[in-house]
Structure 1
Amino acid sequence: MTSRHSRPKRGNTTSEQFRHNGWEIGTVTALNWISSVKSWNRWPRLGNSLRDAILPAPRWCCGPRLTYQEEPMTSARSSLLVCTLAALTLAGCAEPAVELTPGLKAFVGARIIDGTGNMIEDGALIVRDGRVEAVGPSDSVSVPVSAEWIDLTGLTIMPGLINTHGHVGATRGLESNSDLYTRDNLLHQLGLYARYGVTTVFSLGGDDQAGFNLRNEQDLSLDRARLFVAGPVVVGDTPEEVEPIVDEVARMGADIVKIRVDDNLGSTTKMPEEAWRAVIRRAHEHGLRVAAHVFYLDDARKLVDAEVDFLAHSIRDTDVDQELIDKMVERNVCLSPTLMREVSTFVYESRPAFFDDPFFLRAADADVIAGLEDPERQARVQNSKSSQGYKAALEVAMRNVKALADGGVRLAFGTDTGPVGRFQGYFEQLELERMVEAGLTAAQAIMTATGDAAACMQVKDDLGTLAAGTWADFVVLSANPLDDILNTRSIESVWVAGNPVTSGN
C-alpha cells in the first residue's frame, strides 16, 4: 500500500494526524510521543533495522484497520517514530511490522538536482528494481510503506556523472600496454570511477573483448560505473582499408565508432579525408554513430559537413567561428571539451597542487605519485615541445567552450581519462572545475555531465536524469554543487541501479 508524502511544516504536527476512525490519541503518554514526533528531523537517521524491530507495538500504531492509505506521508514517518518509542514501553500488537519489499527504496528529504535543469528543494526519490519509480516534491510523491526508508534530510542528490570520453583497461600505475586490458583491471577502474561519482563511462577506443563482456553483464546488481565501448579505433589510409574494420567493430557490438583526425601537433600523419569519410558512411550503414578525435577548426568543419555525430575534443588551434557553431546546432553535433586532457600533458612539469588534496589521495598510489615527481620526468615535460604546445592549446580550448555554449552547441562532459597520469574519477571532478573557470555556470557544467551528456550519447531514456523509468544512478552530496561546483566532491554515497557503491568496488 502507498501513502501520500505530504509532510506539513516542521513543528506543526497536529492531533489530526494521529486520529483513526474517530479515536484521537489524547493520553499524556501519547502527547509526549507527539511532542517527540515534532522533533523528527533532529533525530539521527534511523535505519531499517530499527523499524523492523518495532515488534510488538501498540494497536493504534499498527492495528488492523489503520492503513497508510488513510494517512499522509508525515503520518507514516511520524508513526515510525511513535511506534519506535511505543515499542520501548508498551506490550504488544497483534499485527507484525510491514515487511520490506526487496529492491524498493525511498530516499526522502533531500534537495534533488534532476539533470534536466530543475531542482527540488525538499524531494522524494522512489527506486524500484534499480530504476526510478517516482521523483518529486515531498508533498506530492506517493511512497510505498514497504520501501526501505533512507532519510537524506539536508543533503543533495544529483545524477551520477557521465563521462562521454574516457578510456579503460590498458593502464595500471605508470604502465600502459594491451596486456593490462583484463577483466580485473577493468573492474578496478570502473569501481574507481564510481567512487568519485562517475556512474557511466563511454570508452572511446582501445576496447577489447573483456570490455564488451562487462558491458553485456550490466544488470540490476551493478555497483560500478556503467561501461559503453567503441572497440578499436578505426585507422587506415583508404576506404578499402577502413571499411572492413568498421564491419568488424559493428560485428563486435560496439556502441559507437571512433576515428582520429589529427596530426598530434605535426608529429604524425593525419588520417586522409577519403578514409575518414568512408568510416562515417560505413558506420552509418550499420546504424552506428561516429566520434572523431579532432584538434583543428578546419577539420571540425569538414567532419560536421560529412555528418560526423560527435566531436570528442574541443577545437584547440584557433577560436571557433559562427559558421561551425551554426552547423553544429543545426545538425545536433555535440562536443566533448576534455580540458583535463590538455592539462595532463604539462601539469607534471612540476609538482601539481592536487597531490596534496585528500580527495585525490584517498585513491592515489604512492608509487605513481613518486614516479610523476621524478626530476627527470619533470625535466622531459618542461622541455617537451608538445607539452608546451598543448599548454597554449588549453587556453584556446577554454575560450571555445564558452563560445560554443553561448552559441547553443550542446556540450557533453568528457575527460579522456585512462592513460597514465589522467586519474580516473578525480580528473572528472577537476574537469567540472575547469569548465566553470572557462565561463560556464555550475548549473551548466552539471548539465553537460548529466542530462546533456545522456542526450548526446542517445541514452537519455535510461541515464543522465532522475525521472520515472531511468536507472537510479546518482550521487548523494553533503553540500549543494549549484552554490559551488567544488561541492560535487562532497560525496556521501554513490548509487548505481539503486545499489550502493562500496569502497571495495
Structure 2
Amino acid sequence: MTCHSEKKRAVRGVSRLLLAGVAGGVINGVVGLGSIGGQAYAQAPSPILLEHVRLFDGTSKVEQEDMAVLVQGTRIVSVGQTGHLTAPKDVKRINLSGKTLIPGLITDHSHVGLVSGTSVGAENFTVPVIKTALDQYERYGVTTVTALGLTKSPLFDDLRRAQHAAGATGADLFGVDQGIGVPGGMPPEGMVKVGKDQIFRPATVDEAQQAVRTMASEHTDLVKIWVDDFRNGVSSQKPLPVMQSEIWQAVIKEAHNQHLRVAAHIHDLDYGKRLVGAGADIIAHGVRDEPVDAAFITAMKDRGVWYIPTISLDEATYLFAEQPEILNDPVLKAGLNADLQKQFSDPAWRQKIASSPLARASHAAVAMNQKNLLTLYRAGVKIGFGTDSGAAPVRIPGFAEHRELHLLVEAGLTPLQALTLATSQAAALLNLPDRGVIAPGKRADFVVLEADPAENIAAVDQIAAVWRGGARVAGPLVPR
C-alpha cells in the first residue's frame, strides 16, 4: 500500500507540473496565458460591446436583429437592442453587422486522450494530446466538452480543474472518471486498448459498488456504464458479454447514494428500457435497432431521463470512405491531421470500409437514430447533444459536432431547434446554469458566424470568431 500511495503522489506531482502552464491564471491582472498544446490567449482588459449583431440566445424560437451584448471580464453584463444599452465610457466597441452570435456549443458525450492520429490506446492519455483536442474543439466553437469515461486519475482530475480556471486555454472540461464496463465485454479491450486504470470491470456487486465510491472520491461529474453486446446491428458479429442486471442495478443505486447521476451506453431499445426502469439518468446514445415505442417514451418522460442521440457516431463509420470528395472540405481540413488525411486518401482503406457489413449496418443505424430522435423530440423527451467524438480516429473533435448539427436538421429539426440542443439543452443536461445561453450573468462563451444559421445550418461551419470567458480565443475556422 505504501508503494502504491507513493506512486500515486508522484504521478499527481508530475501532472501538476505539466499543468502549471495550463491553468494560466491572470498575470498582472490583465493577461492569462496557456503554454501546453495551444496558443497564448489574452483576457480583455476592459469592457467590450458587441454591436449590430443578429442574435440567437440559445433558447428562443427566433433570432433577434441588430442586437448588442456587453461583456465585462468573463461574464455577460447586459443584452439589448444596439443603441439602447448603457455602456462604460472605456468600452471597446466591435461592430458585427451582418454576422450572427450564438452561444458556445456544448457536447454532453465525447472522449479525450484516447486517440492520437490514427492510433487508439492508453499511451495517448497525456496532457499534450488532450490539450491539442481541447484547443481543436474550441476552434470549432465547442467551448465545453464532457469526456464520458475511459479517463485516468489523477491526470484527468487535475486537468479538469485547470480547464475550469480563469485564463485556461481550450474548451472547458467535465466528465467521468474511468467508468464501469464488463470483464471481456464493453468497452472492447481489443479496440479501445485503454489501461486497467482507465476503466473498472467489476465481476461482483461489491466490486461495482466500490468502483462507484472510488469515482465519487475523485469527484467525477457523472458515472458511466456500458450495457451493449457490441454487435452494432451486424447479425454475423459475435456478441460480447453484456453487463449483468445485478451489476448495473448496484451501480445505479450506489451512484444515487453518492448523489451522482448515471449515463448508460446502449445501442438497443431493450437495454434502454431496462436501464430507464432501473433508474439510469441519461441514455448516452440513440436507440438504433428498432423504433422507440410508447412505453419507452412514457418512461423517459415520467422519470425525466435525458437522451443523447450521437447520430454522427455511426455516420463517421462510412462517411470518409464513401465520400472521398469531403477531403476537399476546408471545414474538415481544419481538424484533419496528416495521419488521417493519408488513411482517408487510401483507395484500399476506402474500399475495405465501404464494403464492410458494419458500413451497411451503420447506414441503417443513422436512419433509425434520426427517426427515433424526431419521435422523442416531438414527444417532449429531454434531448441533449453529443457525438462520441474522440473515441475513434474517424470521430474528429469539433468536426463531429458540426456533422451532428447537420444530421439533426436532416432528421427533421429546424436549425434553431438543433442549436438549442447543442447550447441551452446541453448545458441543462450537465446541470450547468452558467452557460449555453446569451443572457446577463452567463459566461461569455459564444461563437460569431458569418452567416445566418436559421436559414441554413451550414452557417455553423462559417466561424468568424470564438469567445471563451470573455476573450476572443480563435477564428476564423477557415482562413479567408
Please indicate the TM-score interval, normalised by the length of the shorter structure.
0.7 to 0.9
Q: In structure 2, how many angstroms separate the alpha carbons of the residues matched to 1:425 and 1:162?
A: 10
For 2:180, give the aligned amino acid.
V
Instruction: Please tell me whether residue 434 in structure 1 is matched to residue 434 in structure 2.
Output: no
- Residues 159-308 of structure 1 mapped to structure 2, 5 A cutoff: 159-208=103-152, 209-217=154-162, 218-235=164-181, 236-265=202-231, 267-308=239-280
1:351 Cα offset (Å): 4.3
Decide whether the 8 Å contact of 2:463 with 2:475 is kept in 1. Answer: no
Q: Which amino acid aligns with 1:472?
A: A
Q: Shift of residue 139 of structure 1?
A: 4.4
What is the TM-score with the length of structure 1 in the denominator?
0.77
Whether 1:102 aligns to 2:45 is yes
Structure 1 distance, partners of 2:469, 2:283, is: 29
- In the alignment, is residue 119 of structure 1 matched against residue 91 of structure 2? no
Q: TM-score, normalised by structure 2?
A: 0.81
Match of 1:500 among 472, 476, 479: 472
> 1:136-163, CA deviations, whole angstroms, 9 ceiling, x for partnerless residues?
2224422222222222122110001111
| Alpha-carbon separation, structure 2, partners of 1:503 and 1:151 | 16
Residue pair 1:125, 1:135 contacting (<8 A) in 2 also: yes
SS in 2 for 1:163: strand
Structure-1 residue corresponding to 2:96: 152
Return the offset for 1:212.
2.0
How far is the alpha carbon of 1:210 from its aligned partner? 2.6
CA contact (8 A) 1:413 1:453 kept: yes
Distance 1:101 1:413 in 2: 30
Identity of aligned residues (%): 35
**Equivalent position SS for 1:301:** helix
Work out which structure has the larger RCO, using CA pairs closer than 8 Å and 6 or more positions apart in sequence. Answer: 2
Give CA-to-partner distance per residue, 1:10-66, whole Å, 9 cap, x none.
Answer: xxxxxxxxxxxxxxxxxxxxxxxxxxxxxxxxxxxxxxxxxxxxxxxxxxxxxxxxx
2:345 is aligned with 1:399:
no
Contact 2:51 2:97 in 1 (8 A): yes
d(CA) in 1 for partners of 2:260, 2:344 = 39
Q: Is the 8 A contact 1:205 1:232 kept in 2?
A: yes
The answer to whether the 8 Å contact 1:339/1:434 transfers is yes
Give the alignment partner of residue 449 of structure 1, picking from 422, 425, 434.
422
Q: Secondary structure at the match of 1:450?
A: helix
Rounded to whole Å, the distance in 1 between the matches of 2:344 and 2:118 is 8
The one-letter amino acid of 1:378's match is R
Measured in 1, the distance between the counterparts of 2:414 and 2:135 equals 29
Task: Give the unaligned 5+ runs of structure 1.
Answer: 1-99
1:433-473 Cα shifts (integer Å, max 9, x gaps)? 011001111111011001111111111x2111011221111
Count of residue pairs brought into register by the alignment: 405
CA displacement 1:367-389 (0-9 Å, x = unmatched): 31211333443343245333332
SS in 2 for 1:143: coil
Deviation at 1:296, TM superposition (A): 1.1
Please say if residues 201 and 225 of structure 1, whose CA atoms lie closer than 8 Å, have aligned partners that are also in contact.
Answer: yes
Q: Which residue of 2 aligns with 1:386?
A: 358
Name whichever of 205-214 and 269-278 sits farther off.
Answer: 205-214
Q: Which has the larger radius of gyration?
A: 1
Judged with a 3 Å threshold, the aligned counterparts in structure 2 of structure 1 residues 285 and 504 are, in CA distance, closer, same or farther, namely: farther
Please give the secondary structure, in 2, of the residue aligned with 1:304. Answer: helix
Distance across 1 between alignment mates of 2:205 and 2:80: 52
| Counterpart Cα distance in 2 of 1:352 and 1:358 | 13
The 3 A distance-change label for structure 1 pair 367 and 106 is same
Which residue number corresponds to residue 411 of structure 1? 383
